[in-house]
Amino acid sequence: MLKTRYVELFHKVRALPLDTACAPMLANLCYGYRQLLLISYAAPRFAEDFGEAAKPLVLTGTMLQVIDKLADNLNQELQPREWAQNIVYLLEALTFQYNGRYMEVARNAMEDFFSTCAGREGLEEGICNMWCYKYYFRSDKEAARQAKKMVDGWVKELPAEGVWSHLTPDRSLERLESMVLFAETVDSEHYSKQTGLLIKHFSRAEGLDNQVRFLFIAVRAGLCLTYREEVLRILEKLLKVELPQEGSVRLQQPERAGWKTARCKNEPLLQAIQFHMLGLYWNCEA
């Protein structure tokens, strides 16, 4: 049943117009295509049911179209949090589909962001993510030092065997995502104990928004098998969601003071998120 839904969603998201898509939708589409591309290489027989559009060369071309739109998004005026998130979306996409022209767009956007918004409260996670990617792409030791300094501060605020009591679950999960990215790009060992305890805590998170973010974090941290039951339960719950056609959808779109939630068409965004999460699941199963 899950594979049938995966194939259906692939054909639905391929038909979605990119020109009017919001950044969260574009990002989930791009990351979803990456997951299917990985499957097409690792398990070509599994990918046969998706048709010619799931061939590696075709998928790569489709991903580049989406990345082009992510880069275009940075040419518009954005609120600081949305600006930071859009830069991170593009940087993440470039980790698996590198393009020099788009890297230059991301690099210029980072420089503009740091000169304009560095030090503003509420942007710490986005800034940490940018430092991590700067180190990943350029082996910039100062970027690694800055990222570690930020994570050090967060870890010092943690009570023993606990979570950040002064933060909402949404904000805590943002920090945890940044810590997992730090482990992936800079240092996989330094905060492994704290990260593991936080992931264990949020494996019991309530609310679908938080659960979907946990699913992504668990997979990214390489803990899909450890939390297989939780991942499957969240995925099945996500696939049953029905939303109105228009409005704001909060899945993977945290909203805090100073940032206006991006307006997305609910159903296409939901389909993109479902497609992305199914790809994560199947790559864990492979």
Kindly tell me if the per-residue pLDDT of 123 is higher than 50: yes
Query: Does 168 reside within a domain?
Result: no
Query: Does 189 reside within a domain?
Result: no
Q: How far apart are CA 252 and CA 28, in angstroms?
A: 10
Question: Sorting pLDDT into bands at 50, 70 and 90, what band is 114?
Answer: very high
Query: Does 25 reside within a domain?
Result: yes
Summarize the confidence of residues 262-283 as an average pLDDT.
88
Query: Does 139 reside within a domain?
Result: no
pLDDT tens-place string over residues 64-77: 999 999 999 998 88
Better-predicted residue by pLDDT, 241 or 195: 195
- From the CA atom positions of the chain, what is the Rg in Å? 18
Counting the structural domains of the chain, the total is 1
Place of tokens 């710490």: 124
Query: Does 184 reside within a domain?
Result: no
Query: Does 193 reside within a domain?
Result: no
Query: Does 118 reside within a domain?
Result: yes
Give pTM, 2 decimals: 0.91
pLDDT tens-place string over residues 229-260: 999 999 999 999 875 544 444 554 444 333 33
| Domain containing residue 263 | 2-122+203-285
Q: What is the DSSP string of the chain?
A: -HHHHHHHHHHHHHTS-STT--HHHHHHHHHHHHHHHHHHHH-HHHHGGG-GGGSHHHHHHHHHHHHHHHHHHTTS---HHHHHHHHHHHHHHHHHS--HHHHHHHHHHHHHHHHHHTT-TT-HHHHHHHHHHHHHHH--HHHHHHHHHHHHHHHHTPPTT---TTS-HHHHHHHHHHHHHHHHHT-SSTTHHHHHHHHHHHTT--SHHHHHHHHHHHHHTT-TTTTHHHHHHHHHHHHT----SSS---TT----TT-PPPP--HHHHHHHHHHHHHHHHHHHH-
Give the pLDDT confidence score for residue 263 in this predicted structure: 60
Query: Does 147 reside within a domain?
Result: no
Better-predicted residue by pLDDT, 263 or 225: 225
Question: Sorting pLDDT into bands at 50, 70 and 90, what band is 278?
Answer: very high
Kindly tell me if the per-residue pLDDT of 18 is higher than 60: yes
